[in-house]
Chains A and B, each alone.
Chain A
Amino acid sequence: MAGLLQGNTLIWIIPIISFLCFILSIINKNSVSRISLLNFSASFINVLLFLVLLFTYIDDGELSSQIVWAKIGDTTLSVGATVDALSISMLGLISIVTFLVKLYSIQYMRSDAKFGWYFSCLSLFSAAMYGVVLSDNLLFLYGAWELVGLGSYLLIGFWYEKRAAAEAAKKAFITTRIGDVGLLIGSLILFKLSGTFNISEIFHVVTNGVETKMISESTVALATTLIALGAIGKSAQFPLHVWLPDAMEGPTPASALIHAATMVAAGVFLVARLFPIFEVSIFTLTFIATIGITTFLIAGTLALAMKDLKRILAYSTVSHLGLMFLSLGCGNLPGAIFHLLIHGASKALLFLCAGNFTSLTGKSTIFEMSGKIKIYTLTSCSFLIGSATLAGIPPLGGFWSKDAILVSAYETFGIPMLIAALLGAFLSAFYITRMVTIIFSIKKPSHNQVNKTSLVMSMPTIILAAFSVLLIGLLLNWGDQYLGFSSFLSAAKETDKHHVGLWIPITSALVTVLAVILSWMKYTNKIQLISNKKVSTLLENKYHIDNLYNYIVSKIVLRTSKMISAFDRIVINDTGVDGLASLIPFSSLKIKHIQTGKISTYLMSMTIGLVAILLYLIFFN
C-alpha cells in the first residue's frame, strides 16, 4: 500500500480513475444515482490526489514514470508521465474544475435522457486532459491531445439530433484537426532531429545541436511554428478560432469545463511545455505574439456584438487566450500560466452562472434575460466577482495577471504592442460591463424575477469565485519552498526581474476603469456613443471569417473533390480503362478482315513474306 502511494505510481492513478469512471459510467448508463455517486467520488478523489501530488512535489521535486508502449528495432516509443511545476498547476485547475462541474452537472443534467452518456464523455475528456498535462513525451501528448478533441467532439455534439449541434461538433473537430496536422508534422520533425519523442531529451538534443550548429535554427523554427499551429487550433486562435463560439451548442457545464477552463488552455500549455525550444527561434515567438494580439483584439470586438450570453463568453475566452499567447510570445511564461489559471477559474464560473441564468429564465440572450435576474443571489454575486476579475478591475486577480503581460509586451515589443494590448484590455472591460449592465438592468419591471437555484448549482459558482480571488495568493512569497509563482514555474529565472516603474499598472487600471464607466453609461443610455451601422454589421457577421470559410469549403474544397471524383470516373475509368477495353473489340473487328477466305490473298501474302525473308537473309547475313 505504501508503495502504491509513492508519487511515481500515483501519477498514473489520476488519469486511470477518470478512465475507469468513463467505463463504469457507460456500463451503468441507466442508473442516475449510481452515476452521480461514481462521478462525484471519482472526481473528488482526484482533487485529493492532486493535493497529495502537490505536497509531494513541493517536498521531493519532480516525479516521473515511464512505460514502454512499442519497440521497433532501435526505436522505442514510450508513454511517460511527469509532474513538474507546470503540470501540477494545470492538474490543480483541471481536477478542481472537473469536480465542481461534475457536481453542478448532477443537478443540471438530471432530467436528460442521456445522463450516463454525458458523464462518460466528461470522464473520458478529463482522463485525456490529465494525459495531456502529465505527458512527458510528444507522442503520448499528441495521443491525449486528440482524445481531448474526441471528448470535446462528443460533448459539443451531445444533442446530436439538433442539426446545429452536429455541425458544430464536426466543425470543432475538423478545425482543430487542421492545426493538429502542424502539431504532428512538427513533432515528427523534432523526432527526426533528436531520434526521440521524450520532451526533456528533445530539449537537450535541440539546444545542444543549435549551439554547436549541428541543427539549423530554421529547422527548429519550422518545427516550433508547426507545433504552434496545433496550439492555435486547440486554443481557438485566429484564424482557427471559428469553432469555439459554435461549440456553445453543447451542454453549458461541459462548455465551462472544456471550452473555458481546460481544453482551450491546452494550446497555451503546449507552448509552455515546449518553451525551451520555442525560445530558440525569435521568429516563432514573434509569430505567436502576433497571433495572440490579433486574436485578443478581433475576439474582443466580436464579443461586443454578440447577443447570446454563452457566445459573449466564448469570444471572451478566445480573446483572453490571445492574451496568453501574447504573453508566451513575449517570453513571459509565468504570466501566461497565471492568467490561464485566473481565467480558467473565473470563466468556468461565468459559464456555470450562465447555466443557472438560462435555467432560471429559459432564455439564452442577454437581452431576454435582462431584468429577470435578482442581483442579490449567490449566483449573481459570483457572476459579478467573475466578471470583475475578467475585466481586470484592481485589485482582483485579472488585474495582476494582465499587468504582468502588459509589462512584458512593453519590454519585448515596445510601445506599439503596449498600446495594442491596452486597447484589448479596454475592449475586454467594455464588453464585460456591457454584459453585466444589460443582464442586471433594473429598468425593466422586476415582478417576474425568479430566484430559485438549488444549492448544488450555486455552490460550485461560489467556490470558483473564491478561487478566482484567492489565486492572487500564488503571486506572493510564502517562504523557502515557494518564492512566488514565477520562480515556482521556472526556477532558473528567479533573478530575471525588471522594474519598469508603476506607470504601466496605473495606465492599465485607468484604462479599465474608463472602459467600465463608458460602457456602463452607454448601456444604461446615459450617453450616446457613436455607433456605425457598417461596423456593427461587420461585427455581427464576425468579420465574414466564417462566411469565407464556408465559401472555401463549399465552393472550393467540395467542388475540387467533385471534380476529382468526376475525373476519376470519366477520364481514368471511362476513357482510360473502358476506352482501352473497347479497343479490343474494335481492333479485332478490323483485324478480322485479314481472314478473307480467298486462297489468292493468302498466296500473295505468303509470297511477299517469303521474298522479305529471303531479302533479309541475303543482305543482312
Chain B
Amino acid sequence: MLDSFLNYSSLLLVAFPAFGAFFLMLIPNSNVRLTHSIAQSISFTTMIVAILSFVFFDPENSNYQFRQTFEWLNIISINKIISLDLGVDGISSFMVMLTGIVMFTGVLSSSSITNRVKDFFILYFVLISGVFGVFVSIDLFFLFFFYELAVVPMYLLISVWGSSSVFKTFSRTKDYGALKLTLFLVAGSVLIWVGLLSIFVESNATYFNLIDIKNNGGLSPKFQTFIFPFILVGFGVLGGLWPFHTWSPDGHVAAPTSVSMVHAGVLMKLGAYGFLKIGILLLPEGAQEWMPILLILGTINVLYGAISAMGQHDLKYVIGYSSVSHMGYVFMGIGTLHHLGVTGSVMQMFSHGIMTALFFSTLGVIYEKTGSRDINVLEGLAKKMPLITVFFVIAGFASLGLPSLSGFVSELLVFLGLFKTHPVFGALGVIGAAITAIYILRLIAKVFFGPAHNNQNLLTSVTIKDKISSVILVFFVIAIGSVPFPFIAKIENSVHNLLLLGLGS
C-alpha cells in the first residue's frame, strides 16, 4: 500500500500544489479563513509526502527511485523523445524534503497576508509546484519548464504583496525588486535554455533526460568546455553567484515573509542543483575546466557577502546578504569536485534553506509587531519577545557555524573537501565563518539585548502558527547538526554516483 503510494510520490509532489492552486480558484474570494485552512492542509499533506519520499528513499540503490514516465512528444524524424520523466535520487529527495518543509512553514507564516489571500496562495502553490517539478524532473525539457513555472509567479507575489523600503539616501520599491528579480532570473534561464537546447542537439540520446544522455556516450569535451559558461552563469544567476547576486537581497527585502522564505530557502538552491545535475553530471570535462572560476567566485560570495551584511542596517538586508555569503559555501563545495566537498554543499543547501526560512519567519513576526526592521531603532526585544529571540538566536548560531547546529556540519564538510583539494580557499572559507559571527552577534546584541524601550508596546504573544513553523525549522536545524549521520547516508551514495558518472573518479 505504502509502496505503491510512494511510487507515485514524485508525481504527487508536483500534482498536489498544482491541484491545490486549481482547487483554491473555486473557493469564494470572501472566505479568508477557509482559504487559509485549505492552504494549510494542502501544504501539510505535501510536506508529509515530501518527508516520506525522503525517509523511504533507499540509499543503497543508486538508481532514480519513485520513477514515473509519461511520453509527451515524439519527434520521429530526428528520433528524439521528450517525456514527463519524474523520479528522485538522494540529492533531489533531500531537496524535495527541504521544499516541503519550507513550503508548509511558509504557509504558516503567511498570516499577515490580508489582501487578496486567495490569489496569493494560488500563485504560491504554482511557484511551489514548479520548484518540486525542477527537483523531480529527470527530463531536461521539463526541468526547464518547471523552472519557468516557478519564476513567473514570483513577480506577482512580490509586486502585489511585497513591501517597499525607503532609506535615507535611496529607496527600493517593491516593483523595482520584483522586476529586477524576474528579469535576472529570465536572463539566467535564457542562458540555461541555450545550454540545454545545444545539449539536446549535440547528444546522441533518444530521450532528453539526464540518464539517457549520459548513457549514450555523453558529450564531446570541446562542446562541454564551450557550453559550460552558459550553464555556469545561467544557474549562477539563480544561485546568487557574485557578481550576479544583486537581485537576491533586493528581492528578499521586497518580498512578503513566506515568499522570502521560499525564495531564499529553496529557489536559490535550484541554481546549485543545476550545477550538480547538469554541470557535473553532463558536462564533467567542462566542469573541470571551469571549476576554478566557480571556486573563486564562491569564495568572493562568502567573504563579500559577509562583509556586505555587516554594513547593512535593515534586518532583511542583513539576512539577504548572509544568504549570498552562505550560498558561497555551496559553490565552493561544488567547486572542489571532491565527494566530501560536494556532500557538504548538498548539506549546506538544506541547512541554509532551513536556517534562512527560520530567519525570515522570525523577522516577519518582528516586523509585524514593531513595524521596523532597522537595527539602529530596535533594541531589547528579548524582554518582550523571548520566544522569537530564542528562535532567531538559534538561526544566528547555526549561521555562524556553531557545532551541534546544522550550519557547522555542512560547512565542515565543505572545508574538509577544500582542504583535501585547495587548502587556501579552505582557510578563506573558515575566515568567512568568523566574519559571520561578527555581524550576527552584533545584530543580536543590538536588536535583542540591551534595555527594552517602553514606547514599544508589543507584548502580544506569538501566534500558535508562528510557533509551529519555527519549531519545525528549529527541529531540523538541531537534528542535522547533532545527528547528521542518517541524512548524509541518504545523499552520500548519490553524490558518489554523480561524481563517479561525471568524472569517473
Contacts and interface: CB of A to CB of B under 8 A. Distances in A.
Interface of A: 68-73, 75, 139, 142-144, 146-147, 150, 157, 160-163, 165-167, 169-170, 173-174, 177-178, 180-181, 184-185, 188-189, 191-192, 557-558, 560-566, 568-569, 572-573, 576-577, 581
Contacts of A142: 403
B161 interface: no
Nearest to A154: B393
Contacts of A161: 380, 382-383, 449-452
Contact of A166 (B307, B343, B449): B449
B485 A572 contact: no
A469 B234 CA distance: 71
A562 B434 CA distance: 18
A169 B430 CA distance: 22
Of the listed residues B415, B426, B433, B438, the one surrounded by the most CB atoms of chain A closer than 10 A to its CB is B438
Contacts of A189: 419, 423
A162 B383 CA distance: 11
Centre residue among B308, B400, B444, B452 by max chain A CB count within 10 A = B308
Given A70-B488, A185-B427, 9 more contacts: A69-B485, A71-B485, A73-B340, A160-B382, A161-B449, A169-B449, A174-B437, A184-B415, A188-B416
B321 A166 contact: no
A191 B426 CA distance: 12
Contacts of A73: 339-340, 492, 496
B308 A568 contact: yes
Interface string B485-499: 100110010001000
- The 3 residue pairs across chains A and B that have the minimum distance between CB atoms: A565-B311, A166-B449, A143-B403
A581 B176 CA distance: 12
A565 B426 CA distance: 24
Nearest to B484: A70
B66 interface: no
Interface residues of B, number: 59
A168 to B, nearest CB: 9
A379 B209 CA distance: 79
Interface in B388-410: 397, 400, 402-404, 408-409
Contacts of A165: 449
B91 to A, nearest CB: 14
B247 to A, nearest CB: 8
B413 interface: yes
A71 B488 contact: yes
A72 B419 contact: no
Nearest to B428: A185
A169 B442 CA distance: 10
29 contacts: A69-B485, A71-B485, A71-B492, A72-B339, A72-B492, A73-B492, A75-B416, A142-B403, A143-B404, A147-B402, A150-B402, A157-B445, A161-B380, A181-B431, A181-B434, A188-B426, A188-B430, A189-B423, A191-B419, A192-B419, A560-B307, A561-B309, A561-B311, A561-B439, A565-B310, A568-B308, A569-B170, A573-B250, A581-B183
Contact of B449 (A70, A157, A177): A157
Nearest to B412: A139
Contacts of A558: 310-311
Contacts of A72: 339-340, 343, 413, 488, 492
Contacts of A70: 409, 484-485, 488
B23 to A, nearest CB: 38
Contact of A572 (B243, B413, B439): B243
Given A161-B450, A166-B450, A191-B419, A576 B492 contact: no
A577 B412 CA distance: 34
Contacts of A561: 307-311, 439
A185 B311 contact: no
Contacts of A160: 382, 448-450
Nearest to B383: A161
Contact of A174 (B380, B409, B438, B489): B438
